[in-house]
Amino acid sequence: MKAEKSVCLVDGCNNFTVAKGLCAKHYARFRRHGEVRQTRAKDWGAREKHPLYKQWCNIMRHHKFRMDPRWKDFWVFAKEVGEKPKEKSWFKPVDKNAPIGPNNFYWQKINTSEDTKAKRARLSEYQKAYRVLNMEKCRNRSLKKDYGITVNDWDTMYAEQNGVCKICGKPESKIDRRRGIVRRLSVDHCHETGRVRGLLCADCNTAIGNFKHNPEVLRAAAKYCEEN
């Protein structure tokens, strides 16, 4: 005789469980976000369909800490930027050293001619070769852009942590697939303030990211592990 299937523990959900008393949808959400509630903002659907949403996401990804604070609200950004040009265009800051915002942006038209495509292909090859020959210089530029630190800052933190992860106390073990060597410890930072907190191994960095850097959820997870 087959055992009767149990129903998901989430109130109002009548789907059958697959793991930890949760149905497939809520278990997947718990694994991604550390909680079973919907974490997306109520206006997410409207934002996603807006023609400027992808552009805003790119700016948040590349200019988050050099961006006018008002533009972190998508609807303020959309109102001030206005209509997106019909031609393919890049969203660029006028002054690269100033925060991107209402008075510091413009649309740069993308040239899609065959000559331009060939030039881009040659530029791409040049950039790849340059990165190979100037790895530390490129790494320093990347650290400055993403976290506001230099290679020397990274090296200092690495020495202070004795070359191990600040959470688990173990050295990195993940392999960089492109280079075939052990990866460097990842820079962990506060997503709200941009403050660098330390260097973490890939597993710990991914873990706290999946828990949305939420201390309460992390403590609940630790308690759960201790009790089960």
The per-type count for the chain, helices as H runs and strands as E runs, is 9, 6
Split the chain (228 residues) into runs of 10 and give each run's mean pLDDT: 69 82 82 71 79 86 80 89 84 85 86 77 88 89 88 94 94 87 91 87 90 87 86
Q: At what angle do helices 24-33 and 202-210 cross, to 10 degrees?
A: 120
Give the C-alpha separation, 225 to 228, whole Å.
Answer: 5
Cβ(20)–Cβ(8) under 8 Å? no
Instruction: Output the six-digit token pair for 48.
Output: 């996603």
Q: Which amino acid is at 175?
A: I
The verdict on pTM exceeding 0.75 is: no
- Return residue ranges of the chain for CATH 3.40.1800.10: 149-227
CATH of domain 149-227: 3.40.1800.10
Give the C-alpha separation, 83 to 81, whole Å.
Answer: 7
Within 8 A by CB and 6+ apart from 35, the residues are 29, 217
Give the C-alpha separation, 203 to 189, whole Å.
Answer: 15
Q: Which helix (H) or strand (E) holds 106?
A: strand 106-109
Give the pLDDT confidence score for residue 1 in this predicted structure. Answer: 43
Give the pLDDT confidence score for residue 6 in this predicted structure. Answer: 82
Give the pLDDT confidence score for residue 12 in this predicted structure. Answer: 82
Three-state secondary-structure class, residue 88: coil
Q: Which residues pair with 186 in a beta bridge?
A: 200
Q: Which residues pair with 106 in a beta bridge?
A: 92
